[in-house]
Amino acid sequence: MGHVVGHNDHTITLPYTFKTIKIGNESTAVVNPTGTTSNVVADSTKDSLTINPSNKWIRIFSDAASDTLTIGHEVHTVTPSTNESSLSSTTAAKTFMIPVYDYDEGGHIVG
């Protein structure tokens, strides 16, 4: 007649995964990353994972609308300059520039 006359109990275990991925603050460090390489496992179904840049040249951006995470190297435009000068033994006062480059702590040309 449609009466419930028995039932079975089933336990369903949800897999642990990260509910939230957070982006940490920008770094001002000029050192190489330190630490160990290991697996990061969620402690619960509501756990959060925070991703921090290791030095000041790494940029991390997230887009919650498209569920994407973008990691990139900081980009700067280098403006090359060239000075040409003809030298000869008959010209008395010719000079020329030898390029000198400036580098930051990461080995990038900054000037």
pLDDT at 50: 92
Tens digit of each residue's pLDDT (9 = 90 or more) over 10-52? 887 777 888 888 999 999 988 888 888 899 999 988 899 999 9
HSE value, Cβ hemisphere, 13 Å, CA-based, for 46: 0
pTM over 0.75: no
Q: Does position 82 have pLDDT exceeding 70, yes or no?
A: no
**Dihedral over alpha carbons 34, 38, 39, 44 (to 10 degrees):** -70
Average pLDDT, the chain: 82
